[in-house]
Structure 1
Amino acid sequence: MISEIGLLTVAGLGAGFVNAIAGGGTLISFPALVAIGLPPLVANLTSTVALVPGYLGATVAQRQDLKGQQRRLGWLFPSAVTGGITGAVLLLHTNEALFNALIPYLLLLAALLLGIQEQVRAWLQRPASSPVVSEVGAIPLVFLAAVYGGYFGAGVSVILLAVLGIVLGDSLTRLNGLKQVLAFGINGAAAAFFILSGEVVWPVAVGMAIATIVGGILGGQFARAVNPVLLRRIVVFWAVILAIIYWLRQR
């Protein structure tokens, strides 16, 4: 019991720390919950609930970047929420055996998304070469990204940032602020649906949520001392190793 509490505390701290600097906290919280004996599907939704406070904190931290973007939020936030709920519904209607079979591929997809994050940011900082599309054009793309986010979530921020960069012409800072609100909407909506489903393991979710908040604060404090690219590469490597382990277990 003590060892499980210790593992969840370390995982929560790590997830919050990683999310604050590089992203990919789900890749730490999810396997830790599986390691203590939770079924993978329950571990996934419990992880989502535990990480929501971190997304809220990131949204509050970047609220200044949302000035003048109320119209965009009015169009895109409902799409994010709807997509998050859709992904959550799909997850809860996924057979446990099927979800177990999907885990290695979901982990590899998350690793790929985190791996290309720097390239996405560099691409977004290029001089605009195409006309800006109305935010209405981003609605279906944000919805699809949100469905993935509600289902598994790791790396959804990269997808959102790429979608916003394709459709909206704006600075990376403002797009990043918009992305944070949409990511919070996705995860918050999915978490609310999971809570209503009664499947959340509350003692675990609350304990990990507290650790995640502390980890996020520490990440903010040490952000300048940690190389985010190196940290992201470590998380990507970890995700690939996890994918291989889960794949071998199914053989």
Structure 2
Amino acid sequence: MGPWEALAILLAGIGAGGINAVVGSGTLFTFPVLLAFGFPPVTASISNSIGLAPGALAGTFGYRRELHGQGRRVLRLAAMSCLGALTGGVLLLNLPSEVFESVVPVLIGLACVLIIIQPRIARRVRERKKPRSGRGRPLVPLGVYAAGTYGGYFAAAQGIVLISILGTALDEDVQRINALKNALAATVNVTAAVFYITFGEPSWAAVGLIAAGSVIGGYTGALLGRMLKPFALRGLIVAVGLTAALQLVFERF
């Protein structure tokens, strides 16, 4: 790995850590960069998951005030996130790599759609005034488990998936929901990281660069992302994501 490649991976890690703390789609920065430098898709996904875990913890620490009073909820839902992450990790390591290479372009496309409609999801959460009757809340743990499975298998936009699940079911301020999202995403990332360190074969050079960058980005609250207007940021993420999806599709032919 040359110095320019290392710098590009570090910068992608900074952007991913910051965007994950605020919205949740950082993998669409780091994963395409690793692919562009010749990493096999499964190795890139494993290395990315491990590298982003410290940044997820840093982002959660930055939202610690909004987590106050949510301890019991975090513990209950984090258990489902942990189980989901393990499920996703087992699927990634045991299914043939061809399955991952076939499914990931679809997952990236789904992530891009979620990024496009994310403002509408956030607006629904902000505009809700009256408390809900609690309908659908028993399904929240199952939704969190499904999001954890998705995040353990391929982490792109798992934060947006969580925001949509939590925001439509919980009577909380959007900032407290975002803090909860960060805590659950961090649980998935850390669980997946431990699993992949134990059973996977990451590129430790890539892991170190992404980890260093993601901590900087996660703690400062998307320093790079705030330089762009939301529309421009979403457009950039979608463009990067679609490029990665097309790259994977073309490599199969």
TM-score of the superposed pair, with normalisation by structure 2: 0.90
Amino acid at match of 2:80: S
SS in 2 for 1:186: helix
1:89 Cα deviation from its structure 2 partner: 0.9
* Alignment partner, residue 205 of structure 2: 203
The answer to whether the aligner puts 1:78 opposite 2:67 as a matched pair is: no
Deviations, residues 54-107 of structure 1 (Å, cap 9, x unaligned): 111110011111122122123211011111111111111121112112221121
CA contact (8 A) 1:76 1:135 kept: no
CA contact (8 A) 2:152 2:192 kept: yes
Structure 1 runs of 4+ aligned residues shifted over 6 Å read: none
CA contact (8 A) 2:9 2:34 kept: yes
* Alignment partner, residue 44 of structure 1: 45
Aligned length: 251
* Alignment partner, residue 53 of structure 1: 54
Amino acid at match of 1:183: A
CA contact (8 A) 2:17 2:59 kept: no
- 2:143 paired residue among 141, 153, 161: 141
**RMSD, matched Cα:** 2.2
Deviates more, 1:83-92 or 1:218-227: 218-227
SS in 1 for 2:182: helix
CA contact (8 A) 2:61 2:219 kept: no
- 2:236 paired residue among 229, 234, 237: 234
TM-score of the superposed pair, with normalisation by structure 1: 0.90
SS in 2 for 1:149: helix
SS in 2 for 1:115: helix
Amino acid at match of 1:77: A
The answer to whether the aligner puts 1:159 opposite 2:161 as a matched pair is: yes
CA contact (8 A) 2:225 2:233 kept: no
SS in 2 for 1:64: coil
The answer to whether the aligner puts 1:66 opposite 2:40 as a matched pair is: no
CA contact (8 A) 1:88 1:151 kept: yes
Distance 2:168 2:23 in 1: 22
Q: Percent identity?
A: 34
Distance 1:49 1:194 in 2: 7
Residues 141 and 198 of structure 1: CA distance in aligned 2, closer, same or farther (over 3 Å): closer
CA contact (8 A) 1:75 1:136 kept: no
1:189 Cα deviation from its structure 2 partner: 0.6
CA contact (8 A) 1:21 1:228 kept: no
1:21 Cα deviation from its structure 2 partner: 4.8
Deviates more, 1:147-156 or 1:28-37: 28-37
